[in-house]
Amino acid sequence: MMSAPSSSPPLELLGPSNKNSIDIASGGAVLRKSFNAWDDVLLCRVVNQRKPWMAPSGEIMITWGEIAESLMHTRGFGVKKDGPACKTRFEKILKMTIGGEKDMLRKTGTEEEYEERERLLREMYDQIDQYRDGREPDPSRKALGELQEDNESLENRRKRKGKALARIISKRERLMDTNTPTTPTTPREEIKSIFEYLQRRMEIDDAREERRLLAEKEMEERRTAAEERRMEAELERDRRQQDFMLKVLEIMQK
C-alpha cells in the first residue's frame, strides 16, 4: 500500500529561522524578536490566571516556566520566550503602566489592545498590592476587613505600608542577587525607582485616607448638629403643650 503524500508545507513557506519564521505550536503565528501589544495582552491573561506572586517560596520561577509553556501553545502569541524573559517583560510593562509611562508602550498595536493591557495590569497590580499587604480578596473576610480598616488610625496605616515597602525592597534585592540581570539597568537604579514609586503610592494613599477621615468627621458633625436641632424642637413642642394645658386648667378653674 502506498503511503499518503506528506501534507507538510513547502520549505519556502516556512521561511528562514528568524523573526519571520512560523511557529506551528502556537497556531501558525509568525515569531517576532520582541513583544507587541497583543503579545502583552496574552501574557497578562495567562499571568492573571496563574498568579505567580502567590506561588510558594522556591516555586515562583517554576510558575513562570509554566506560563511560558502555556504561551507557546496559545494561538496568536508571536514571540518565543522562556520563563525569565516573560517575567522580565511583565515586570517592565507593569512598572511603566503604573508609573505613568504607558504612552511609551503604545507603538505596536490597536487602541483596544492598549486598553485591555492596561486594564489587566492595573487589576493585577491591585491583586499584588493586596497580597503583599496580607489582604487577600477573600469574600468571607470582606466585611471584617473593611471594619478593621475603618478602625485603623492614619499612623498605623503608614507604619503598615512602610513595613510592606521594606519587605518588597528586601525581596527584590534577594532576587537580584540570585538572577542574572537581563537589562542594562543596574540593581541599585531599579531598586531606587521602585522605592520612589512606592513612596508616591504611599503618599497618594495617605492623602486619600486623610480626605476620607475629614469627610467622615464633617458628616458626623452634621449628624450631631441635626440631632441637637431635633431635640431642641421636641423640647420646644413639649413646652408649648405644657403651657397650653396650664392655660386650659386655669380657664376650667374660673
- Going by C-alpha positions, the residue among 126, 115, 103 that lies closest to residue 41 is 115
DSSP classification of residue 30:
E
Q: Compute how many other C-beta atoms are within 10 angstroms of the C-beta atom of residue 138.
A: 10
DSSP classification of residue 10:
P
Residues paired with residue 95 on neighbouring β-strands, in sequence order:
none
In what helix (H) or strand (E) does residue 65 lie, and over which residues does it extend?
helix 60-72
Q: Assess contact for 41 and 32: CB atoms under 8 A.
A: no
State the Cα angle at 124 between 122 and 126, rounded to 5°.
70
Cα gap 48→117, rounded to integer Å: 11
The pLDDT value given to residue 217: 84
CB burial string 185-194: b at 16+ within 10 A, e below? eeeeebeeeb
The pLDDT value given to residue 83: 92
CB neighbour list of residue 79: distance below 8 Å, 6 or more residues apart: 31, 32, 33, 34, 35, 39
- Going by C-alpha positions, the residue among 90, 117, 89, 120 that lies closest to residue 103 is 117
Q: Assess contact for 137 and 127: CB atoms under 8 A.
A: yes
- Please list the pLDDT of the chain residue by residue as tens digits (254 residues): 444 444 443 333 333 333 333 443 444 445 778 899 999 999 999 999 999 999 888 889 999 999 999 999 998 898 889 999 999 999 999 988 888 888 888 887 888 999 999 999 999 998 888 888 775 444 444 444 444 455 455 556 656 666 666 666 565 555 555 554 555 556 667 677 777 777 788 888 788 888 888 888 888 888 888 888 888 888 888 888 888 888 777 777 76
Q: Assess contact for 83 and 64: CB atoms under 8 A.
A: yes
Q: Compute how many other C-beta atoms are within 10 angstroms of the C-beta atom of residue 95.
A: 16
CA 133 to chain centre: 12
- Residue type (1 letter), 193: S
The pLDDT value given to residue 5: 42
The pLDDT value given to residue 163: 61
The pLDDT value given to residue 199: 76
User: Structural domain boundaries of the chain?
Assistant: 12-138, 151-228
- Taking phi over 0 as left and psi of -120 to 50 as alpha, with beta for the rest, 166 belongs to alpha
The number of CA neighbours under 13 Å toward the Cβ of 91 is: 18
The number of CA neighbours under 13 Å toward the Cβ of 207 is: 6
The pLDDT value given to residue 221: 86
Q: Compute how many other C-beta atoms are within 10 angstroms of the C-beta atom of residue 122.
A: 13
